[in-house]
Structure 1
């Protein structure tokens, strides 16, 4: 019969502890059974509608109300290939309030206090000839109703009435969520303000 040496027992014990710790982390750190994966490709396991408000600072508007700023200017190629320019190459960093069930114009001073979440990330203009943008951002929830983040990325084809971007993950109440966010342009005011309606449908949820 094989016998175990003390070093072998120690290694086995360490491996067991690591395995148990990994299982706890994978279940979101919860005790009492952890989380259960709900997956459906016919009906979403969670859905919500949020309005995304973006106010680009252009040196003339209020710094207090502005929620986004250009971090890189359009490239010379933008004006070379299009008489009107397409902002090709411009990168915008944003910290935008997201409201639930409201379409206020343009965001009132109380918008920050009434926001259901914040969208934080970047969008960049990635087309030479049309006004298309690519988004990568997190929706950050911090309320009694929802906590955690949803991470989204994808191309916003602004000429289309509706367009989808991917929900690629999440944390907290949205741990490891997957799904689709459908965008609709709800309002535009010049080059400074736009509002998007965002219908989020999750098809993989941990509960």
Structure 2
């Protein structure tokens, strides 16, 4: 047997040993912790824009996905009865006028989560900016949304320039139609990110 075929046989044997060796499977949910270096600089950014949520007309930006199949008379008179779920794709603009410059969109779901007279939604949305310095970046807002004129909501994450975002929104209704549910909301956002 030549040196070349002996070497090939040894390599094949070692590969066979390596490939057939099994390692124990860990069936635990926890695999260990390790320290990571955290950036020492956190950036604070302030954003100001308007969200236009339109339920009425031929081209709504928010649509009913499902509603409860059993409601009370009081809930039937409500714009968003308890259990109703809406999907939205709302424009974000620089000003309150629907014709002002569009700077992004808010996409997500909101659901009516209150059985009582205090109309409350659960807002779950990704607000992506499509122009300017933050083009392609987004903030994620997931929070209870009481339908009052002024409220605070939580920023729980983000993408792009807003990676690891945390913060809050002061949200003010500059227009709300109690008949059809259309709204224009002013957003003052403070976001901390890396």
TM-score using structure 1 length? 0.67
Does the Cα contact within 8 Å between 1:51 and 1:197 map onto a contact in 2? Answer: yes
SS at match of 2:162: coil
Q: State the match for 2:51 in structure 1.
A: 52
Find the counterpart in structure 1 of residue 4 from structure 2.
Answer: none
What is the SS of the residue equivalent to 2:81? coil
**1:30-86 Cα distance to aligned partner (Å, 9 max, x none):** xxxx965317xxxxx1111111101114xxx222xx211100124423x25657345
> 2: distance between equivalents of 1:35 and 1:174?
14
SS at match of 1:140: strand
Q: What residue in structure 2 maps to residue 10 of structure 1?
A: none
Task: Quote the residue 2:63 is aligned against.
Answer: 69
2:96 corresponds to 1:103: yes
8 Å Cα contact 1:75/1:89 also seen in 2 = no
Tell me the C-alpha RMSD between the 2 structures. 2.7
Counting matched residue pairs gives 157
- TM-score, normalised relative to structure 2: 0.71
Structure 2 residue runs of 5 or longer lacking an equivalent are: 1-14, 16-35
- Does residue 37 (structure 1) correspond to residue 33 (structure 2)? The answer is no
Three-state SS of the structure 2 residue aligned to 1:37 is coil
Q: Contact 1:156–1:165 (CA<8 Å) still a contact in 2?
A: yes
Aligned residue in 2 for 1:137: 125
* Higher Cα radius of gyration: 2
Residue of structure 2 in register with 1:117 after alignment: 104
Is 1:162 paired with 2:150? yes
2: distance between equivalents of 1:193 and 1:81? 20
Partners in 2 of 1:81 and 1:192 — Cα distance?
A: 17
Q: Give the secondary structure class of the aligned counterpart of 1:145.
A: helix
Query: Is 1:92 equivalent to 2:86 in the alignment?
Result: yes
Q: Residues 80 and 103 of structure 1: is their aligned pair in 2 closer, same or farther, counting only changes over 3 Å? A: same
Q: Which residue of 1 aligns with 2:188?
A: 199
